[in-house]
Amino acid sequence: MSLILFDLDGTLIDSEIGITQTMAHALRALDVEPPGQDILRSWIGPPLHASFPSVLGEDPARIDLAVHHYRERFNEIGWSEHVVYAGIGELVTMLSVRGHRLAVVTSKISDQARRIVDHLPFGHLFDAVYGPAEGVRSSEKAALVA
């Protein structure tokens, strides 16, 4: 059978609450008022180093500090603040039963992504989880898929 790749955020799970609350936390830790929910929602998906400059400017040290604050909260609680989309568990199970190999490819750090996938009721059906390693600033999806 074939290999089927899934994204994590916005495909398997609705992670808006965890991600946007954690982004807001990171900005507040730097005494910056976070933008509105619509802006924070638009940051879901792209790497943090691509999103934070729109509010923090192009100061690499400040962006790195925001990412650090983000990762602290995300590792503590943000990773678990998500909802599995209705029907996705049944879909994943059906594809697995039909003999397809399943994997997750995400721009989320691989250790974080693995933790989330392992926590899903159907997470054991995925053969692999691909994401950038800790400390990687760029996570182009095409490179991860390759």
- Is 140's pLDDT higher than 70? no
Q: For the chain, give the percent of residues with pLDDT over 90.
A: 77
**Which parts of the chain are beta strand (E)?**
3-6, 13-14, 83-84, 101-105, 128-130
Q: Classify residue 143 by burial, with Cβ atoms within 10 Å: 0-12, 13-18, 19+.
A: exposed
Q: What is the pLDDT of residues 51-70, one digit of tens each?
A: 999 999 999 999 999 999 99
Q: Which candidate, 34, 76, 67, places its Cα nearest to that of 137?
A: 67
Contact status, residue 106 vs residue 8, Cβ threshold 8 Å:
yes
Q: pTM of the predicted model, to two decimals?
A: 0.78
Structural domains in the chain plus CATH codes: 3-14+84-145 (3.40.50.1000), 16-80 (1.10.150.240)
* Sequence-separated (6 or more) residues with CB below 8 Å from residue 88: 11, 12, 13, 122
For residue 47, what pLDDT is reported?
81
Q: What is the pLDDT of residues 18-38, one digit of tens each?
A: 999 999 999 999 999 999 999
Active site members:
7
How, if at all, do strands 13-14 and 128-130 pair? unpaired
